Amino acid sequence: MKLATQLLHGGISEDPTTGATSMPIYMASTFHQHKIGQAPWEYSRTGNPTRQAVEALVADIEQGTAGFAFASGSAAIMTVFSLFSAGDHIIVGDDVYGGTFRLLNQVLSRLGITFTVVDTRDLNAVTAALTPATKAIYLETPTNPLLRVTDIQAIAAIAREHGLLSIIDNTFASPIVQQPLTLGVDIVLHSASKYLGGHSDVIAGVVAVKDAQLAERLGFLQNAIGAILAPQESWLLQRGIKTLQLRMQAHLANTEKLFSFLKAQPAVAKLYYPGDPDNPDYAIAKKQMHGFGAMLSFELQPGLDPQVFVEHLQLITLAESLGALESLIEIPALMTHGAIPREIRLQNGIQDELIRLSVGVEDITDLKADLKAGFDAVMQ
Ligand SMILES: *Cc1c(COP(=O)(O)O)cnc(C)c1O
């Protein structure tokens, strides 16, 4: 089945008891066990029909064999990290989500799990970071907010060679653009609060794997930790996923057009977009992505005030988050990456003038007109 069909007919797309073509929301904490040990459902933390439907769908669209749904992307990440024990070491991409760093720095480190941060585009740096205690390589591609692209197949090969798990946070790409499990990665996860949900109305996280033993370990942890996705949210998420292909097509088309538009702006000093042929990561992006994603970052010329720019936009919403139908814009230095000390932030290439845009599906003419108002304001 092709991906566009899987989105609609994959997983458990119909209620087996009633034939309802939209899986009902099963608001039940517990289930009558007519015969002990033979009931299909027992208790909703362990398993719920609505959650199971979305979990099966996620497994299908990531080309895995098992899917898991969590109360947030952060809960999904924490549950995956719970595979590791005191003394274990993880190699982590240097540009991963701030909340992931917070978990590593302030929670997992207290539990005796250590990590080394590297630019995972540099495969020699990844290999150099290996220690006898290393158990996994964890990364995002494209990264946030500089949209750097790592060679997924190469990382998966290094992991396999050294007996490590490879884990990818696929939030920025979505399974339409990139399917890490097909490139040899062991665990793929998402903040489903972004593209998978797509409508800015649900906080959720998902994980998908291929390997049966890994699925069993994650299923155990999901039930033991209990950070599961509730039935209402599970339903909202599967409803969002149904239109993922349609939404992504519109997102990707608008992004390509805005890339050309931004490239022609004298106020733009630098553009970050994996689909830019001048981008050093372009060849790898072209090899592993279908479309280049719908995130664009750009730096204004030194001295131009990004705050003036974003505050003169009428349509594009000044907000954190991404992957929504509506375009969202933010200034990493003041918002999503504001907690990082300025010196370190600059070292990581995140200038004060950097603006991150999550391109929505509005009419392109309106988006361009809105951005033009921002440019007019900063150029005055
Ligand atoms: C938002 C985000 C997360 C965290 O997900 P929540 O659903 O907000 O907990 C993790 N990774 C990436 C790349 C994100 O953008």
Q: How far is the CA of 372 from the centre of ligand 1 (A)?
A: 30
178 and 54 inside one domain: yes
- Per the structure, the complete domain to which residue 254 belongs is given by 245-379
Question: DSSP string covering 135-184, please?
Answer: EEEEEESS-TTT-----HHHHHHHHHHTT-EEEEE-TTTHHHH--GGGGT
Q: How far is the CA of 74 from the centre of ligand 1 (A)?
A: 6
- Asked which of 196, 223, 242 is the last residue of a domain, the reply is 242
170 and 281 inside one domain: no
177 and 254 inside one domain: no
- Peptide bond just before 16 cis, omega within 30 deg: no
Q: What is the pLDDT of residue 220?
A: 98
CATH number of domain containing 126: 3.40.640.10
Strand order in the sheet with 187-191: 66-70, 205-209, 187-191, 165-169, 134-140, 89-93, 114-118
Q: Known catalytic residue: 345?
A: no
Nearest CA to ligand 1 atom 1: 191
Nearest CA to ligand 1 atom 12: 97
Q: What is the pLDDT of residue 119?
A: 96
Give the residue ranges of the chain where pLDDT is below 70: none
- Asked which of 242, 266, 299 is the last residue of a domain, the reply is 242
Q: What is the pLDDT of residue 19?
A: 94
Tens digit of each residue's pLDDT (9 = 90 or more) over 152-162: 999 999 999 99
147 and 102 inside one domain: yes
223 and 264 inside one domain: no
Q: Known catalytic residue: 194?
A: yes
Nearest CA to ligand 1 atom 6: 73
Q: How far is the CA of 97 from the centre of ligand 1 (A)?
A: 7
**Ligand 1 atom having least distance to the Cα of 172:** 13
Tens digit of each residue's pLDDT (9 = 90 or more) over 254-284: 999 999 999 999 999 999 999 999 999 999 9
CATH number of domain containing 348: 3.90.1150.10
**Tally of structural domains, the chain:** 2
